[in-house]
Amino acid sequence: MQNKDLQFVSNLSSYKWKYILFRVGTVSLFAMLFMLFADVIAAKEELIVPIPQYIRVIILFNIITESNVLLDNLSERYFAIPQQIKTRVLLHFLISIGIGVLALLYFKELIKEVNVLQQPITWLMVAFGFIFVFILIIVSISLRITSKWMSAQEEVKDLKQLQLRNDYNALQDQLNPHFLFNNLSVLKSMIKYAPDAAVDFTQNFTDTYRYVLQNAEKETVSLKEELEFLNAYIALHKERVGDGLSVKININNNLIYRKIPPLSLQLLIENAIKHNIATTDEPLNINIKTNQEHIEVENNIRPKENSYSTSKGLKNLTSRYKFLTDREVVIKQNKKTFKVELPLL
């Protein structure tokens, strides 16, 4: 069934004129055909069921149909999909059975007026007619409920994606001030104690922050771009701590155009520097390398005495990855080293 046909059938419960006319016309036609067939078989030679009886049966079939349509539209108002879909289906089923029983009781009174209507074949045809009507109703309403459920699921999915995107943007906005604040603090210290070095630091900082601004709206950047930025960022700290910081980068050239979230490597380097001693006597060694589908950042552990971590940076990074992929950020730590593995996208 094509989408257009499916949409037409699922909208049969609508009160638009074309759907009302289709329902009434179809149900009336089949009610008349079932009665006519029963009349022909039972009477054998001529039709003996009065026309008013045909009209009554046709009206009865349409009452059954429209009662279910009304029930469906009332359910649409009071039983939300998908939250109450089970209640809605069960309630509709039970009430439909009740409507069917009342219709049969009415038909039993109706056939007392005409002997031919009391023939078994007549009951059989009417039963077939009721079954047909209920199948038509069930198919229409089931497709309507399914269509509504699918639309609701799509809306939920879209809202989740929108929420995730908003969360992602919020995380990026959180990262940028954090980066700015830390480096301005470093610059303030250098201006006081090493003004000449502060000039070079300012230039490197300008180049570095330009990258931050250019990529603030991006979800991912190439590994090549991130590494070029990272080299400038590391140079900032090398000017401050000299040989106290050693960063080795070993990247498979076949992977340099794979994607990662912007500033992700910078965040890991920043964390390592923030929480560990980086002096000539006790250097901080950071190794960055690719490993199949990951890029690893590993550093030795030389904890500062006054170091305090809220782990917000890593939570930030993990949350950004959850938005982009089902693959997880892996964090490994022992007494000597701390390593983070980031999936390449």
3-state secondary structure of 311: coil
Provide the pLDDT confidence category of residue 296 given band limits of 50, 70 and 90.
very high
- What is residue 280's predicted lDDT score, i.e. its pLDDT? 87
Helical axes 51-78 vs 120-193, angle rounded to 10°: 20
Establish if 182 belongs to a structural domain: no
149 and 7, same structural domain?
yes
Domain count, the chain: 2
324 and 253, same structural domain?
yes
228 and 332, same structural domain?
yes
Q: What are phi and psi of 44, to 5 degrees?
A: 70, -45
Spell out where 109-268 has E strands: 221-222, 245-250, 259-260
In this structure, are residues 290 and 141 in contact, taking their beta carbons and an 8 Å threshold? no
291 and 205, same structural domain?
yes
Chosen domain end from 131, 157, 183: 157
Establish if 184 belongs to a structural domain: no
339 and 202, same structural domain?
yes
Q: Which of 338, 334, 340 is nearest to 295 (CA)?
A: 340
Establish if 321 belongs to a structural domain: yes
Question: Does residue 331 have a pLDDT over 50?
Answer: yes
Mean pLDDT of 284-298: 94
In this structure, are residues 232 and 265 in contact, taking their beta carbons and an 8 Å threshold? no
Chosen domain end from 132, 157, 182: 157
- What is residue 191's predicted lDDT score, i.e. its pLDDT? 83
Q: What are phi and psi of 336, to 5 degrees?
A: -105, -30
Chosen domain end from 104, 139, 157: 157
Spell out where 24-95 has E strands: none
Question: Does residue 252 have a pLDDT over 90?
Answer: yes
Spatial distance between the Cα atoms of 222 and 262, rounded to a whole number of angstroms: 8
Pull the structure tokens for residue 205.
């900082």
CB half-sphere exposure, 127, CA atoms < 13 A: 7
N-term to C-term CA, the chain: 38
- What is residue 218's predicted lDDT score, i.e. its pLDDT? 79
Share of the chain above pLDDT 70, in %: 68
Higher pLDDT, 139 or 75: 75
- What is residue 250's predicted lDDT score, i.e. its pLDDT? 94
235 and 138, same structural domain?
no
Spatial distance between the Cα atoms of 318 and 220, rounded to a whole number of angstroms: 14
- What is residue 1's predicted lDDT score, i.e. its pLDDT? 47
Mean pLDDT of 148-168: 67
Across the chain, mean pLDDT equals: 76
Q: Starting at the edge strand that comes first in sequence, how are the strands of the sheet with 284-291 ordered?
A: 245-250, 284-291, 294-300, 337-343, 330-333
Residue 330 lies in domain: 194-343
199 and 338, same structural domain?
yes
Q: Which of 257, 258, 261 is nearest to 220 (CA)?
A: 261
Mean pLDDT of 52-67: 77
Question: Does residue 57 have a pLDDT over 80?
Answer: no
- What is residue 2's predicted lDDT score, i.e. its pLDDT? 47
- What is residue 236's predicted lDDT score, i.e. its pLDDT? 76
Spell out where the chain has E strands: 221-222, 245-250, 259-260, 284-291, 294-300, 330-333, 337-343
Mean pLDDT of 133-151: 69
Mean pLDDT of 330-343: 93
Higher pLDDT, 167 or 336: 336
- What is residue 18's predicted lDDT score, i.e. its pLDDT? 83
203 and 100, same structural domain?
no
Establish if 164 belongs to a structural domain: no
Establish if 284 belongs to a structural domain: yes
326 and 198, same structural domain?
yes
Mean pLDDT of 86-98: 74
Spatial distance between the Cα atoms of 23 and 8, rounded to a whole number of angstroms: 12
Higher pLDDT, 81 or 35: 35
